[in-house]
Structures are given as C-alpha cells and as structure tokens.
Chains A and B, each alone.
Chain A
C-alpha cells in the first residue's frame, strides 16, 4: 500500500513537472535525457538484471528503432510516426531473434563478446549502406502527429515518461510472475534451472524480445525528438556501456535502480558537458580563473565526461558492485 502511494505521488509529480517549470527548453531537455536513459536502462535490466544475461550490444536495438523511423519518414513524409515506431519494433525484434539464436548458446565471456560482435555488425552495415545515409546520418525536416506541436519538447517528455512507466510496469509485473521467477532462476544457476524443466532458450529469448522492443521504441522517439541521427549517436558501443553503467550505479536487478542511476548520471554528464562544474569551481574561488589549472578546466572539462564515466565505472565495480540501492538493502 505504501508503495502504491509513493508511485502515485511520483507519477503525479512527473506529469505536473513541465507545467511547473514552464517553457524552459534547457531543463526540459535534460529531463527528457534522464527519462530516456532511465527507460533504456530499465529495459536492459529486464534482460541483464533479472535474467542475468549482460548484453553489451543494446545500442543495436536503439539504433534499429531510430533508423527504421527516420528512413521511413524521409521516404514517406505523410506516414503516421506511430506506424514507424511499430515497424521499428518489428525490425528490432528480428535483430533480437537472430542475436538470441546465436548468443544464448554461449555463456560467460563468450556471451558478452558475441553481443558486442552482433552490435558492431549492425553498426558497420548501417555505416556502409547507402539507404541509411552512411557516415552522414539522416536529417529529418518536419514531423507531425495529430496536430501536436512536435517542435516543442513537452510531447517528447510525456512520450519518454510513458515508455518509462510501461517498462517499470512490465518489470514490476515480471518480478512476481512465473516468467520473472524463471528468469531469476536462470540468473542464479542456469544448470539448476534447466534441470527443473525451465526452457532456458525460450525464457532468455522472451526477455530479450521485451527488452529489445522497448529499447527500439525509445530509439524511435529519440530520432523524432532530435531529428538527426548517425551511427555514433545511436549505434555506438559507448551507448551500450552507458546503459549498463546507469543500471550498475543504481543497482542491477532492482526495480528502481536504473531510474536512480539515470537521475545521477545524466545530470552529471550534462554538467560536465556544459562545463557547469568547472565554472562552479572557479566561482567558488577554489580555482583561480587565470591559473593554469583554471584555464585547463575551462577548456577541457567539457570533453571529460567520458573520462568521468570511466572513473565512476571503476570505482563502482570496486566499491559499490551492488549499486546505490544495494547499499540501502545491506543497511536494513
């Protein structure tokens, strides 16, 4: 009962938030990024956290959604974006089924490596084909849906929020359903699960399909929102790693872990990218603006967010392998 109250309050706050902050594209933009990463990481969590199958290639499904939607809309501009999203799900599911049939026969090191290889094949193919725009990417001039103002950011805020809620809903349902118990049994001990009669390949593929479909919807939304995509934005290995890192920091295999991770990591990355952190240090008088360190911070901190991600990953694996939520669980 307490949890339902909490969720209701959170949902109401999330729905009301754009009305409270008003027309502030910068803040809304950051919130959209937070919601997207929270949803991406939660979708990954269904496969990685509950079934214990660490996919290092989730960018492939995000890219599948984004590219399908953008290619369809550049060729048939009158198409309803929702149909494009649906086609994106189909494309991502096909890639997921092919991937699943290859990688789920493998374990441990081999599974992680194979998932990267599949994602790299997708990325390189998109880069080399002509109909995908190759290295130049795809630029979309105009989108419309039911007369909504898609130039404003609010529709995308609610879109991402909706996908996040659906993903969390599926995760919450899975936790206490038969499928969910089977997935957790597979995570804990594949051989034991198999000997109890659980069809390993069926349940692994099922969780991969759910995860890939949700990820592709987010990819489609991202494409419609930014209206420009290229392989480095939507298919890069770095995206796959960011998705995993977000889940790890919050807590893998927990319902709220990926959300917590996204609310920490995305604003941090944004602060580094826009150099708020460097400016704050200088303003606080900790670093002199004209000193060598001050100049270095001003010039370089904006490029350092991947470096910071690396440092956080290492610290997290060494000191906080169960994530922030794992910390609380231990304290109880």
Chain B
C-alpha cells in the first residue's frame, strides 16, 4: 500500500533534506522546530492491465456513446495528442499516448475510417522532432501516417489551416486548427500529469492560434488564477471552459481521452531511485550511490550532465484512463491527480523553499534557461496549491537552481531577446505585456522559426513570465541559491551563495525566526492549504 504524502516537522534529528538543483542536488540542513517539509505521496498503484482499461474506457465512455458507434466509413477523423511538454520527464516506452492511439486506430480501421489525421497539439510550443513524435505515438503509427502527411504538428500561425469558430460571451475569440474543427469527430488523447492539464484546455489551447490563446495567456488571467492548478478557482480554466462551449456550439464533436500517471518518476534503480526516498530511510547503499552520483556530476561539464539527465525516461505507472465527454471525464481525471498529488497542509508559511530540477515543460531535450527557471519556480511550483498559497502574502520564496545564463539557440530564440532586451527594461509583467508583447508576438522571423524550425513562438517567453505573475504580486522577495548572479539579477531576484545566506536575507523581509516550509517536488506534490 503506497504511503500518502505528508508534512514532516523538522527537529534536531532530521537529516539534511535533498534539494534538486538543476542537473545536480544539494543536501540542506533545515532549521529545527520552525520548518516543515511537504513530501509527495509514494506512487499510487498502477493499473494492472492498461490496454484492457483503455478498451473499457473507449467502449464505456462517460456521457457519450461507445467510440466504435461514433466511427463510420467516410468520416473525417482527427486525433490530437499532447505534445513533448508532457509528461516530465518523458515516459519510458511505450508512451501512454501510443497505447491509446493504437487502440483508437484499431477501432477506426475496424469501422472502415480511412480519413484520419494525427496532430500534435502543441499550441505555441516548438514543433516536435521525428524522434519525439515516434516516442509519443510509437513507430508503427508514425510510419503509417507521417510519410503520408497525416501525422504532423499543429501550426498556430498557418492562416490556411485555422478556423474561427466565434467568440465567448466575454469577447474571447476562438480559433482552432481547421482540420480538427472540420472533422466529424475530434479525439483528444492527453496525459494529465498535473491538475492544470486537460479538460477544455486540451483543445481550446492545444489546437488554438495566438489570436485565441492571448485571451487567457495574459497577466490579468494569471493574477486571477488562484491557483491555475485548481481549475474551479482558475481564471485560466474559466476562459478555456467558455471557449470549450463555443467549440461545442460550433458543432465540433470532441471525444476526450484523459490519462493519469503515478509518481514513479525515478524508478527502482540506483542512483536515481534515491531521489524519491525520504532521507531518513536512505540505506547505506543509497548514501553511497548518492555521494557517488554527486561526485560524478561535479566532474562533468554542464553539457554532459544535461545529456545524462535529459536522457532519463520515467517508468510511470498509468493510474487511470477515462474517455467520453470532456467535463465528466476531466472531473474524474482531476480526482486521480489529486489522489496522487494532494497533501493537506495547515496554514501558510513565512518562507517557502523549493529545489528546482533540471526539467520543466519547455526544456525537454533542451536547456533550462533563466526565464524557464522563473516559470518553473514562480509559475508551476508556487501554484502547486489549493486553497491559498503555501507562503503568506509578502513572504519569501527561496529556490535552488544554477540558473545559467544560457539559452538553446534553436528552441528559444525569442527568449534570448526577451532576456537581453525586455528584462533589461523592466520585470513588471503588466508593463512587459503592454510595452513589448505585440512586437515579439508579431515578429515575422520568430513566426518563421516557429513554423519551419523548432522554435517556441515569439510570444512564448512572455507567457512564461506571466505564469509567474501571481507569485510576483504575492511575494515580498525571491531568492535563488547557487544561481548565476548576473542572470538572477536580470530576473529581478536576489542571489545567495548558500541556503543559510538566503534565510538571513529573507529575515530582512519576514522578520526573525520565520516559519519555513519546503515543498519537496519532484516527484509531484500539491498542497491543500487549510
């Protein structure tokens, strides 16, 4: 029986706690009697027979007819699937998307459907490479569809392949992939790694254009999403739900297939397995493996470390497959997510600490640049709450990460300019949005790179910054431990050499003897703050 997540009160006997630190780790002794550590739950039991569960979900969907009855000869069928940003780290083969898509295609073939397109729903993310597509859908599917041009990446800037479906009652324009919009049936295959994912957001964002996405990917929406991991209190999701209604009213029929995975991020094999263990339970062998890993990493150049970590594939177990109408499917999915991730926490803290790992949704097979560090910390990790933020208003966030002044030139060209020009001008999200967004979003060169190379859309770094806008407004100070000082300064944060230095710096803001909470993530944990 897996143990649920829990809150540890640190005392003098608590061993040093493991902090992720990019492609490395830190062991930090935390102050006794005023610190707590929120541990993730152990991996929930995986489904014994995933393929059987997929069949069950497709044949007995929620609030829709069984999939085979929706498939008819001569119909136009589109299967959209989540892109390379999910899951993190990538999943060991076979990816759950592959298993679901293969099952759907078998049913389509049986029904005589031959007009099938598969689309990577990447919104404004970079295009997936052939290797990444093969990993997601499997070689059999890739070889059957890609050479015919029936398996491809969504293009949010292709004027010939976008369909305007109308506006929400709030005036939000809804424009999505034309092939998807004009299909007799759109099947969306997702991986709901966190509660932000899925639901109407899958289609309304994943297959949308910039014209449409900008209505919810903005500072106002993000400041009013508390948090964006809690869809019922998230303006981001409210907007996507409104758009979902416009999509449905336009006659787009969506058969949603959502899957959840457990917390088995690091597997059973040393040395990675030690990362999922609670420190006081480390065996002698674990300690030796960890020290060996640390020593080895210290000797390696950054590029080699990056290659090693980016090569890690997680042995996640699949915990649920749900199919049918979007809303009932998603409610069920959310429950599975929360079962794995939620930990009840009593009250807020003065200082929130977090160790940022080497990966976030936007640097798979890439470099975690400083903007992504900000986004992972102040966007994703800060928002891993339900109820209220883990840290009190005016409190301090301390993150550990090397934060190198380094960018992937192919994946993140507009990030470089954002960092060099925009953040040199201001770090205020509203000012950035008002003064700079249009120029980057409409830059023909970025558009060209997004469409033909493997670059994130020109506007993407802005969204990363907006993702952290709720945290920026809420926090009194942000400190990065062990980061490149120039890069940290450019982000508008303070740099500290050690965690103790950071605690001292934080006392200027929150006073002496502050309470501290460490969010020990990954594996994924989400706080249900009472």
A and B pair up? no
